[in-house]
Amino acid sequence: MRIRCGVMLLSCLTLCSSTSADNVSDAIGVLQSVEAGGKGSVAARKAVQTLVDQGGEKSLIPILKGFRSTDLLGANWLRNAFEEVASAHLASGKALPADVLEAFIADTRESPAARRLAYDILLKQDASIADRLIPGMLLDPSSEFRRDAVSRLLADATKQTTPEAATPLYRKALTGAVHEDQVKTIAEALRKNGDTVNIQQHFGFVSEWKIAGPFDNKEEKGFAVAYAPEAEVSTPGGVNLTAEYDGQLGKVQWQPVATDEDFGVVNIAKQIQNYKGSVMYAAATWTSPRDQNLEVRLGTPNAWKLWVNSKLVFEREEYHRGSRMDQYQVPVSLKRGANAILLKVCQNEQTQEWAQEYQFQVRICDATGSGVLPAMTTASQKNTEGADR
């Protein structure tokens, strides 16, 4: 009789545990499926309460793992659920499962956003995790963790009393730096100490282009017009960089333009001419050593379209809203070998002083913002390494 009762109790516990896991999984699925416009939000709120009711131990890690297979909207709901579950768990007088959460944070295969969320909540409970984890995150897939690791190195560098002691720390910090302000700080310090820094290469800016134009953009009509270079994109041979076209002011040909500006800015207005009411096309080739998924990040105050390997990957018809590094981030799939980049940049006819910028900056990087350089010959690599020392 006792054996039968024991078996029944074990079966009941197993069933309850299975049901609990199913409830958590189902609730997370509801949060991941919320649609724009609030569709599914009522069910989502109930799902959040289900996760709170299940308790922190059972819900926290499954919620965090859910970040890997959801979109931005679903991630926002998961974030809200995680924070409510954690708050309820702490309010009950229980500590968060530190070992489990710390192991999740250390797993670089997980979502960077989820790992950071776990870190921020655990940091409130145990400030010592910063000293344990951050120093090892200089090359982490999360740009936020990288920033923290770089900040610690910069703080250490400023405490040094000699350039000889500070330089190695700045150099180490540079290997993980992906934020413009930190790289500027590092570069300024290294240059002050007599060292050299190639910011263009660090960020992966494309510095050499061929440009053709101007073409007509009077009354802003040119954005929608497929001028000859644009029409060639979809042809078997692609854009013909030896061609001559009928431009806005006569015949135009492709001409080489390069920039040595730290952040890769190609200033059409200053390097060529500020043609008002015009379109310029810029072409570049980026050689990849393998098939890979990267990002094209672009900054410009002008209207623009971007093609990669004959595919239109993004466009923005907006003028003079300012320009900054990484203003636009476009995921792209690059093939092994030569990859053709074509950029269309449009200037309008506004005469205000703040509407005279006609420029762009383009770089290739991974999802963290770490610059990726194109494949080079051995000789080119040696020259580059020498210039960067």
Tell me what pLDDT residue 21 has. 61
Q: Kindly state the tokens that stand for 25.
A: 């999984």
pLDDT tens digits, residue range 129-177?
999 999 999 999 999 999 999 999 999 999 999 999 999 999 999 999 9
> Residue 54 — very low, low, confident or very high, per pLDDT cuts 50/70/90?
confident
pLDDT tens digits, residue range 109-123?
999 999 999 999 999
Asked if pLDDT for residue 237 goes beyond 90, the answer is no
Asked if pLDDT for residue 7 goes beyond 50, the answer is no
- The letter for the amino acid at 357 is E
Tell me what pLDDT residue 20 has. 55
Percent of the chain with pLDDT over 70: 91
pLDDT tens digits, residue range 26-36?
999 999 999 88
Mean pLDDT of the chain: 91
> Residue 40 — very low, low, confident or very high, per pLDDT cuts 50/70/90?
confident
Tell me what pLDDT residue 58 has. 84
Cα separation, 137 vs 116, in Å, equals 12
The CA distances from residue 324 to 17, 170, 242, 315, in Å, are 52, 25, 32, 17
Tell me what pLDDT residue 38 has. 80
Q: Phi first, then psi: what are they for 245, rounded to 5°? A: -125, 160
Asked if pLDDT for residue 1 goes beyond 80, the answer is no
pLDDT tens digits, residue range 179-202?
999 999 999 999 999 999 999 999
Can you tell me the mean pLDDT for 255-278? 98
Cα separation, 363 vs 372, in Å, equals 8
Q: Pick the more confident residue, 56 or 20.
A: 56
Cα separation, 343 vs 282, in Å, equals 5
